[in-house]
Amino acid sequence: MTKRLAVVLFNLGGPDKPASVRPFLFNLFSDPAIIRLPQPLRWLVARLISGRREKTAQEIYARLGGRSPILPLTEKQAAALTEAIEGLGLGVETRCFIAMRYWHPRAAETAKAVSDFAPDEVVLLPLYPQFSTTTTASSFAEWRKAAAKAGIAAKTASICCYPVEQGWVQAQSLLIGKALDAMGDTPFRLLFSAHGLPKKVVEAGDPYQDQVEMTAKAVVAALGRKDLDWVVSYQSRVGPLEWIAPYTEAEIRRAGEAGLALVVVPIAFVSEHSETLVELDIEYRELAEHAGVSRYIRVPAVGDEPAFIAGLARLVATARGHARCAPDGGARICNASRSGCACISER
């Protein structure tokens, strides 16, 4: 009898209609990995923030047709990944499932579907290339509770991160290379923009910033362009806290002051959503025009690029049978000072 492999893909999720915006925001800000306060204070803060931010968020999603595109795009990735894994000849029946952290399908819904599939093995695969306590660790924690409640007893392997995985880097370099070619002789800067984190989260040991920079360096090396002008920056700040820098807005202004064009890369996002389609494509493009940036090209997210999907398939094949949470079954890639590394937190 053919064994069954369930691959669970984790992503942020997004509202599927205007009425979903406020509950989506509440789910986000009530996550203890995001708002690090005890209950009931966290619940009260989440209710306050989601109410205050609803109007702005509604305006953002209105520009996207009233809903986030992240679920249908993740479904495309899941279909492509299923085909790629089957192409490896592992001798297992593979099915990919999607678990969104803050909107449907949530972990509980997905765990029920996985349980009904009755897999012999489960591989947990976040669609966050760089590990953070606020993303991957949070998704894994919710999954463990849901899986236990659903009675999933199959052997489970976890892929914590893949900041320099060959297929991920190759897909980025292929897409960026097209944009660089389009620049011709125009002086430009390559701007890798990643979602930011509060500085105190990184100072507490979160390895995300280190891993973002690992990715950028690997992509630059893969591009092989001599004397490439590039920088990493961070976007999507919320609230009064100090966030990791440099900020993307500041780097856009700096490029304008230097008389440079910009090639902007979403270096921590694997699919299009509000931070790429609105923040990068509309808001930051307008800022660039006002700042004197001569040309602004935004590189697409990798989506279901064949190289990226092939890389994910290899990660799944390698992860099978490992109990440790790491990209190659146990080797730590984070700086020793990063106490939030998955190799520690998942023990």
Beta-sheet pairing, 296-298 with 261-266:
parallel
Angle between helices 41-62 and 21-29 in degrees, nearest 10: 140
C-beta neighbour count of 71 within 10 angstroms = 21
Rounded CA gap, 8 and 152, in Å?
A: 13
Rounded CA gap, 82 and 13, in Å?
A: 20
Establish whether 275 is an annotated binding residue.
yes
Question: Residue 101: which H helix or E strand, with range?
Answer: none
Establish whether 83 is an annotated binding residue.
no
Residue 291 CA, chain-centre distance (Å), reads 28
Q: Rounded to the nearest 5°, which phi and psi values hold at 79?
A: -65, -45
C-beta of residue 14 within 8 angstroms of C-beta of residue 24: yes
Rounded CA gap, 81 and 96, in Å?
A: 8
Using alpha carbons, select from 290, 147, 287, 165 the residue that is nearest to residue 222: 165
C-beta neighbour count of 333 within 10 angstroms = 21
| Residue 97, amino acid | F
Rounded CA gap, 121 and 12, in Å?
A: 24
Rounded CA gap, 133 and 148, in Å?
A: 21
C-beta of residue 183 within 8 angstroms of C-beta of residue 295: yes
210 token code pair: 């280190």
Rounded CA gap, 340 and 202, in Å?
A: 9
68 token code pair: 């986030």
| Residue 139, amino acid | S
Binding site members for Fe(2+)? 195, 275
Binding site members? 195, 275
